[in-house]
Structure 1
Amino acid sequence: MKKVIVILMALMLVVATSSSVSAHSGRLDKQGGHKCSAKSKQKGLCTGYHYHKKR
């Protein structure tokens, strides 16, 4: 039973950490978006101003 719990916890950890890999930093303005930083553009995470929240 302990092995099952350990395996489930490990899987949950993998899922939780893998979903945040594509996230990028940047504060949001009052419209819920922001301009991409030069680093984010270089990494291919975004190309310009974009929204994170519905307008």
Structure 2
Amino acid sequence: MLLLPASGTAFVARAHGINNNFHAFTLLQNLMRDHVQALGVRREIAWRDP
């Protein structure tokens, strides 16, 4: 579960084959970008082409 205290929201994500925290954050950042309005994220999330 990922908690976002600033917006008072959270979500559950499942992932397999995560090698380190950087890898996990990169994948979560892409997921959060897809749901930015529902999560109430107010800051811009950097774009990274796959």
| TM-score, length of structure 2 as denominator length | 0.31
Higher helix share: 1
**Which has the larger share of strand?**
2
* Higher RCO (C-alpha 8 Å, min separation 6): 2
TM-score normalized with structure 1 length: 0.29
Structure ID, larger Rg: 1
